Structure 1
Amino acid sequence: METSGAPQTRGARLHHPELSTLVHTSRFHAGRQPGATAVICEDRRLTYADLHHRSNRFAHALTAAGLAEGDRVAYLGKESEHYYEALFACAKTGTVLVPVNWRLTAPEVAHILQDSGTRLLLLEDAFTPTVEGMATEPPETVVRLGSLATWSSRYDDTEPEFEATPDTPVAQLYTSGTTGLPKGVVLAHRTFFAIRDRMAAAGVDWIDWRAGDIALIGIPGFHVGGLWWATQNFNAGTTVVAMRAFAARQAVDLIRDLGITTACVVPAMLRMMLTEPGVGAEDFTTLRKIVYGGSPISEALLEESLTVVDCDFAQIYGLTETGNTAVCLPPAAHVPGSPLMQAAGRPYPGVRVKTIDARGRELPPGEVGEVCLHTPARMVEYWGLPDRTAETLVDGWIHTGDAGHLDEDGYLFLRDRIKDAILVAGENVYPAEIENTLESHPQVAEAVVVGAPDERWGEYVHAFVVPVSGPPPTARDLHAFLVPRLASFKLPARYELVDAVPRNPSGKILRRELRDRFWSGAARNVN
């Protein structure tokens, strides 16, 4: 494994252990490979020298605007090279980048700006109406992304004197907030180096970066997955291809036309690319590895992906609070028919996983409990919420709120969010298992399962089913399909065909909204 700063032959694995902050990353690659392409966005390309010097000017402009270490800089816009200029500029000044989901409404954006105490907002013109629609005043300084070059061009391109440490905060990402207001997760530089370093030290190549790699980022930068994947490629010195917003046809075209070798996507993006008219195996021949995560994947979709796309697949599992990935299902475990195809994966070197019961006692393999993760990439805190931080981060362990179990070999199998468990006649039923099975039915595009009150059994299983085009399945069809595949107490008592399921602006299913239909007016939401 390469560990020096010398140029490498194409295909060599890339790891630069001397880098421990994003400041180091920018400086190192601008000096080592100034003419190499760092970012491609639409028809624009930035070299590593461009990215370094532009972010230097940007950093000086932030300082001139009165911002200092710890101040927040928000970014409200679609993906572009400006996002990465802002990231490195914040790293070089000790300010903290707050990426804002551009799909959010004005009140939601206002909450993030106010909660974070943002002092400077980087704003794409298209989202001006959102800011103007806020009931509160915008931050004291608003810089239009379209005029960013003019705003910072008066400053020199020398690197600022500020020197970050691995524990210096650099980003603050807001959780989706399916219940309650979103929380700001503060991440330090170490988040973007810890897993990489542990894998390299152990000689593990579950996820790797190689000379000549061109990486597609399908996940937006306001999600930890998108930010993490971009930083990993910058740290390695490869090329990042940023999509303004994910579109399946465009993604396939980019993979084919640019010779993209690696991609980071969520399962829904895989499904959309594979079902795009006219798309086939020949469109994916340059890919050597796909990294996927962010939501459960059905076995049917995974097996189809393995058949159509002839490359390695690596599944990642983690949270914003864990700094993205903490568990990985490596390529070698992606064997159709293997029980491991249902696993989230196993912890990386240096990461520990345990499951606990309601009293906090660690459970043996096979018993379902709350998943807890101990990772060197974990968050610093929830911004301004010490009590919530103490609930989630306990003695270095992140309590995920996910239900799962470990097998004897240390593989983690997720069952669902603990709060979404359905109690049927004293048995815990986990929606993800039922949904995964339903979605393997050829007439089902998507399924969401919730618990509803039942006088006899406590709760019954209610399934919302989005059918594929064509004749929809009947309840009798679905029931007959599930009977040989699931225990009787897991079978839905009712099926409801719907055109779509509700989602929040981040694309996550609003399961609680579906569940509340049955529980409104109840004294409690369990029976």
Structure 2
Amino acid sequence: MSPRTVHDVVAHHAARRPDRVAVLCEDRAVTYGQLHHSSTRTANAMHRSGVEAGDRVAYLGKESEQYYDILFACAKAGAVLVPVNWRLTPAEVHHILLDSGTTLLFADDEFLDVTAKLKADLPRLRRIVPIPALEQWRGADDHDLAPTFDEAQPIAQVYTSGTTGNPKGVVLAHRSFFAVKAALESHGLDWIDWRDDDISLIGIPGFHIGGLWWAIQGFGAGITMVSVPVFAGHETVRRIRELCITTACVVPAQLQMMLAPPRPRRTDFASLRKVVYGGSPISEALLGRCIETFGCEFAQIYGLSESGNTAVCLPPSEHVPGGPRMQAAGRPYPGVDVRIVDDAGNALPTGEVGEVCLRTPAAMLEYWGLPDATAATLVDGWLHTGDAGYLDAAGFLFIRDRIKDTIIVAGENVYPAEIENVVSAHPAVLEAAAVGVPHEHWGEVVHCFVVPRQGETITTRQLVAFLRGRIADFKIPSGFEITDSLPRNPSGKILRRELRERFWQHLERRVA
């Protein structure tokens, strides 16, 4: 029987294939037997440090084999992993650690100075463990904890950008990482499949739901997962060629990076049999170049952190250049329902555009500490996505726009309020409005309209300098427009869609 909880995964495969490499990171290889043994010692050390079931344990670092050691240790100890985006500013990191109530933090050396300064304002944080010192810290206690937690228990708290500027913690149970795999297997579908000799690339960072979900899928199948500290296009092509990687999960921007000049040859991807991509929609032109160059199957996944990552898939059979469904997000997995609703929550018929709602066994448990936001997003078992789309007669979902104001930059969610709050703090700025505009490489980038205070002048260079260090670099607008006023509706709300229109009017799909 396949494992259904994260803590069962590594024990299951350590008993059956202890010498199989579980994680390959740079030139370091860790087998399933070693990963099971080391994560048990880390879990025992967590308990010695006072970590109890349900406590939050954070990881602030780049991709590494230690990240997955800590993931499995959290599962064995009953703790909840909080992966932190290392690209965030100290203020953004502080919010996540404070909001989650993190009690134990693992951090790369390069982030220790920052976290040490933050610790005084984090009342629940008892200890910071440098990741390079993990082996010494965990000690030799390897007695089996025999965890009894079931698949409904939380295992991860992934932070997404917030509509009011503060990220929200999406709490995910063990079941969120196994429901799709079980559904595909039970129906004999190979949309996303695993073979015993697969070697799989984790292209999406582990602090992102897509990267964490993909890693657990591979570990669940008992294959070798290739972890990269920082994604680089040409270096990834080299890894695929030299390691004979067979499967990969990436965002469209990473596909673009791999095809950048000097363009790789098709022989570089001879071992690759399937690429799974998601995080943001892909242009048909880029997908066509990928199909031609990679020479393998492609599967698109659609979902969000709140849906436990993927809820809809465009299977390889539909990836036909010029085909009728190349613009579709896909069709729901078995056991997942999709419906389109109007503003009043009424279901709309086939072909009509409305808000996309999902009912999935992988859905989040809650937004951490935000019952009102949870209730507004999860309504009678249906997850309201904030995306606008429609269903065709065959049940394929097409995304057309966003109801929420999310901007997706290379797979990273950004909300306008985050940008506007910081830009408006500049003494020369009266108000600001941020929107997403199309970008060939990154899908979307942030464009900000700025109204100066009366008698003040301000330049793009001054605004960029002001934002450095206040928000993460990927959130800094790539363009600014100084304007006298912003369009508003009768109630005073900024009409962002009107600001976006001239950037998107030539495109059928109003999201990247």
Q: TM-score, normalised by structure 1?
A: 0.80
Aligned to 2:154: 169
Task: Give the distance between the partners of 2:30 and 2:21, measured in 1 at CA.
Answer: 6
Are the counterparts in 1 of residues 445 and 477 from structure 2 also a CA contact under 8 Å? no
Alpha-carbon deviation of 1:27?
A: 1.1
Give the equivalent residue in structure 2 for 1:13. none
Matched residue, 1:154: 140
CA distance in 1, matches of 2:444, 2:242: 35
- Aligned-pair CA distance for 1:219: 0.4
Whether 1:374 aligns to 2:359 is: yes
Q: 1:316 to 1:509 in 2, by over 3 A?
A: farther
Distance 1:239 1:525, change over 3 A: same
Within 5 A, what are the aligned runs for 1:213-224? 213-224=198-209
Query: Residue 212 of structure 2 aligns to a residue in which SS?
Result: helix
Identify the residue that residue 47 of structure 1 maps to in structure 2. Answer: 31
Q: Does 1:141 align with 2:127?
A: yes
Task: Note if contact 1:322-1:377 (Cα within 8 Å) is conserved in structure 2.
Answer: yes
CA–CA separation in structure 2 for the residues paired with 1:140 and 1:277 = 49
2:244 match: 259
Secondary structure of 2:329's aligned partner: coil
Q: Give per-residue Cα distances to partners, 1:103-128, cap 9 Å, x unaligned.
A: 01111000000000000000111112
Of the three residues 491, 494, 507, the one matched with 1:525 is 494
1:468-483 matches, cutoff 5 A: none
Q: Distance in 2 between matches of 1:195 and 1:509?
A: 35
Q: Which amino acid aligns with 2:136?
A: T
CA distances 1:176-234 after superposition (whole Å, capped 9, x unpaired): 33642000000110011100001111111100011100000110000000000000000
Equivalent-residue separation in structure 1 for 2:399 and 2:274 (angstroms): 23
Q: Distance in 1 between matches of 2:177 and 2:299?
A: 18
Specify which of 341, 350, 363 is matched with residue 348 of structure 2. 363
5 Å-filtered alignment, 1:237-316, equals 237-316=222-301
Q: Does 2:64 match 1:80?
A: yes
Aligned partners of 2:170 and 2:366 also within 8 Å: yes
Measured in 2, the distance between the counterparts of 1:32 and 1:274 equals 39
Q: Does 1:331 align with 2:286?
A: no
- Partners in 2 of 1:294 and 1:518 — Cα distance? 35
Letter in 1 for 2:494: N
- Alpha-carbon separation, structure 2, partners of 1:519 and 1:291: 43
Residue in 1 aligned with 2:104? 120
Residue 386 of structure 2: aligned partner: 401
Structure-2 change in CA distance of 1:21 and 1:518 (3 Å): farther
Aligned 8 A contact 2:253 2:443 in 1: no
Query: Is the contact made by 1:289 and 1:314 (CA closer than 8 Å) also made in structure 2?
Result: yes
AA matched with 1:154: A
CA distance 1:101–1:54, change in 2 (3 Å): same
Deviation at residue 245 of structure 1 after TM alignment = 1.0
Mapped to 2, the partners of 1:163 and 1:346 lie a distance apart of 35
Structure 1 unmatched runs, 5+: 1-16, 422-430, 454-501
Q: How far is the alpha carbon of 1:417 from its aligned partner? A: 1.3
By how many angstroms is 1:415 displaced?
A: 1.1
Report the alpha carbon displacement of residue 24 of structure 1 after superposing the two structures with TM.
1.4
Size of the alignment, in residue pairs? 446
Q: For 1:128, what is the secondary structure of its paired residue?
A: helix
SS at match of 2:326: helix
CA distance 1:230–1:143, shift in 2 (3 Å): same
2:210 is the alignment partner of 1:225: yes
Post-superposition offset of 1:317: 0.4
* Residues 287, 311 of structure 1: 8 Å contact kept: yes
Give the residue type in structure 1 aligned to 2:84: V
Segment of structure 1 superposing worse, 130-139 or 39-48: 130-139
- Give 1:340 deviation, angstroms: 0.6
1:89 to 59, 73, 77: 73
SS in 1 for 2:118: coil
Preserved contact between residue 288 and residue 312 of structure 1 (Cα < 8 Å): yes
Residues 200-219 of structure 1 aligned to structure 2 (within 5 Å): 200-219=185-204
**Shift, 1:249, TM fit:** 1.6
Distance 2:276 2:215 in 1: 13
Q: Distance in 1 between matches of 2:472 and 2:225?
A: 25
Q: Distance in 2 between matches of 1:446 and 1:98?
A: 27
Question: In 2, distance between residues paired with 1:209 and 1:269?
Answer: 22
Cα separation, 2, equivalents of 1:170 and 1:159: 19
Paired position in structure 2 for 1:3:
none
Inter-partner Cα distance in structure 2 for 1:24 and 1:352? 28
- Partner Cα separation in structure 2 for residue 324 and residue 387 of structure 1: 22
Per-residue deviation, 1:419: 3.5
Q: Distance in 2 between matches of 1:254 and 1:299?
A: 26
Correspondence for 1:71: 55
Q: Would you say the 8 A contact 1:185–1:382 is kept in 2?
A: yes
Q: Residues 120 and 158 of structure 1: is their aligned pair in 2 closer, same or farther, counting only changes over 3 Å?
A: same
Q: Deviations over 1:15-39 (max 9, x none)?
A: xx44111121111100000000000
**Corresponding position of 2:14:** 30
SS in 2 for 1:326: strand
Kept in 2, the 8 Å contact 1:101–1:506? The answer is: no
Map 1:343-492 to 2 at 5 A: 343-420=328-405, 435=438, 439=440
Contact (CA 8 Å) 1:55, 1:85: kept in 2 or not? yes
Q: Encode CA deviations 1:406-437: one digit per residue, 9 max, x unaligned.
A: 1111111111211359xxxxxxxxx99x94xx
Structure 1: how far apart are the matches of 2:80 and 2:24?
24
Cα-to-partner distance string for 1:364-390 (whole Å, 9 max, x where unaligned):
111111100111011010001011000
Residue 43 of structure 2: SS of its match in structure 1?
A: helix
Q: Which residue identity is paired with 2:70?
A: A
Greater RCO between the two (CA within 8 Å, min separation 6)? 2
Q: Say if 1:315 and 1:344, in contact at 8 Å, map to a contact too.
A: yes
1:135 deviation in Å? 8.2
Q: Which residue of 1 aligns with 2:412?
A: none
Q: Give the distance between the partners of 2:303 and 2:481, measured in 1 at CA.
A: 25
State the distance in 2 between where 1:516 and 1:62 align: 52
Q: Secondary structure at the match of 1:82?
A: helix
Q: CA RMSD in A?
A: 2.7
Measured at CA, do residues 215 and 509 of structure 1 come closer, stay the same or move farther in structure 2, by a change above 3 Å? farther
Instruction: Report if aligned partners of 1:178, 1:504 keep a CA contact under 8 Å in 2.
Output: no
8 Å contact from structure 2 (residues 281, 443) kept in 1: no
Tell me the amino acid that sits aligned with residue 493 of structure 2: R
Partners of 2:283 and 2:484 lie apart in 1 by 27
Q: Distance in 1 between matches of 2:6 and 2:116?
A: 33
Query: Equivalences for 1:486-525 in 2 at 5 Å?
Result: 505=472, 507=474, 520=486, 523-525=492-494
1:505 Cα offset (Å): 3.9
Note if contact 1:363-1:369 (Cα within 8 Å) is conserved in structure 2: yes
Quick one: which amino acid aligns to residue 135 of structure 2? A
Instruction: State, as a whole percentage, how many aligned pairs show the same letter.
Output: 55
Instruction: Name the CA shift for 1:447/1:214 in 2 (closer, same or farther; >3 Å).
Output: closer
**Equivalent-residue separation in structure 1 for 2:338 and 2:482 (angstroms):** 32
**Separation in 1, partners of 2:191, 2:483:** 43
In structure 2, the CA distance between the partners of 1:452 and 1:360, relative to structure 1 (3 Å rule), is: farther
